[in-house]
Amino acid sequence: MFYRCLEENLRNYARFVLPDMVGVLAALILVLFYDRSKGRQLPKVFYYVFYPVHMLILYAALRLFMHFV
């Protein structure tokens, strides 16, 4: 009984926890290699335009998807 429960717990661990740990490890590697230098600077207007435009694109994709479903 105990081993069956342990086997089920290990199977769930491998299915749900390990993929998350891979993402955490990738983020950790990126943080460790950060050298505190500024990257390429984009014009400020890009940041004001990007959000509404990408939301409109997502809305249009959703409407298109819902039309065919």
* pTM recorded for the entire structure: 0.45
Give the domain extent around 47. 2-68
SS3 14: helix
Domains in the chain, number: 1
- Per-residue pLDDT at 15 exceeds 90: no
> Which one-letter DSSP state was computed for residue 33?
T
* Element spanning 44, H or E: helix 44-68
Query: What are 20-67's pLDDT values in tens digits?
Result: 888 899 999 999 999 988 888 989 999 899 999 999 999 999 999 998
- Per-residue pLDDT at 5 exceeds 90: no
Residues 6 or more apart whose Cβ sits within 8 Å of residue 60? none
At position 43, the amino acid (one-letter code) is P
Structure tokens at 32: 């460790």
